[in-house]
């Protein structure tokens, strides 16, 4: 059976948010071959397939109740909406947080947005991977400038970026203008 495709996370296997392994999904109870291994902000499933993320079934099934008598339930999400620009429609934020595989970072990760839409997450990146994306490096330099980093410190930081270690950059691509974007975290 074909795996679902995600507009904002085109290749969860390549990004490391999913692995190829036989498992029974804890939400749909079906035998699946691809297993999600990114974060779930909600109840933790034994195992989760990408179909259930795509359909929204996982977000509903893993929701947490608010407690008390009210039946207010909080749907599970796979990433948090942080610093979303005003020109991004709510439906986009909903699709990214509720129906798109997230990714694990060293800190809480923010999705990136560009041209009024969510950007596609490509995966974690070290300096080597970023070198092919000068716009993404420029974006990190600009971020650091805003935070008041000295440029020598920034260059040292950039060269220390590691795809699997700390610190890591997270590479995105705008779905409209194709610009490469990167976020980063500090251990």
Residues that bind Zn ion (CB under 5 A): 25, 27-28, 49, 52, 114-115, 174, 176-177, 179
Is 62 exposed, middle or buried, given 0-12, 13-18 or 19+ CB atoms closer than 10 A?
A: buried
For residues 114 and 144, which CB has a smaller minimum distance to Zn ion in the complex? 114
Helix residue spans in 31-86 (DSSP H): 50-55, 57-61
For residues 50 and 125, which CB has a smaller minimum distance to Zn ion in the complex? 50
Answer yes or no: are the C-beta atoms of 49 and 1 closer than 8 Å.
Answer: no
Find all residues with CB under 8 Å of 145, minimum gap 6, and list them.
151, 154
Residues 121/124/130/135 CA torsion (nearest 10 deg): 30
For residues 130 and 174, which CB has a smaller minimum distance to Zn ion in the complex? 174
Rg (C-alpha) for the chain, rounded Å, is 17
For residues 69 and 87, which CB has a smaller minimum distance to Zn ion in the complex? 87
CB of 183 to Zn ion, least distance (A): 15
CB of 127 to Zn ion, least distance (A): 23
CB of 116 to Zn ion, least distance (A): 8
- Encode 173-186: b = buried (16+ Cβ within 10 Å), e = exposed: bbeeeebbbbbbbe
CB of 46 to Zn ion, least distance (A): 11
For residues 43 and 159, which CB has a smaller minimum distance to Zn ion in the complex? 43
**164 vs 138: CA distance, rounded Å:** 21
CB of 52 to Zn ion, least distance (A): 3
């Amino acid at each position: 059976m074909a795996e679902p495709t995600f507009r904002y996370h085109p290749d969860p296997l390549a990004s490391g948010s999913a692995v190829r392994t036989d498992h029974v999904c804890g939400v749909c109870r079906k035998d699946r071959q691809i297993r999600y291994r990114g974060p779930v902000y909600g109840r933790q499933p034994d195992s989760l397939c990408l179909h259930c993320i795509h359909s929204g079934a996982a977000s509903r099934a893993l929701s947490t109740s608010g407690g008390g008598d009210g039946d207010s339930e909080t749907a599970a999400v796979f990433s948090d909406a942080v610093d979303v620009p005003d020109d991004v429609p709510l439906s986009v934020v909903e699709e990214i947080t509720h129906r798109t595989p997230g990714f694990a970072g060293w800190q809480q990760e923010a999705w990136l947005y560009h041209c009024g839409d969510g950007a596609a997450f490509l995966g974690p990146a070290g300096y080597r991977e970023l070198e092919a994306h000068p716009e993404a490096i420029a974006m990190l330099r600009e971020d650091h400038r805003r935070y008041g980093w000295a440029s020598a410190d920034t260059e040292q930081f950039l060269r220390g970026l590691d795809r699997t270690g700390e610190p890591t950059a997270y590479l995105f691509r705008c779905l409209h203008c194709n610009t490469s974007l990167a976020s980063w975290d500090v251990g």
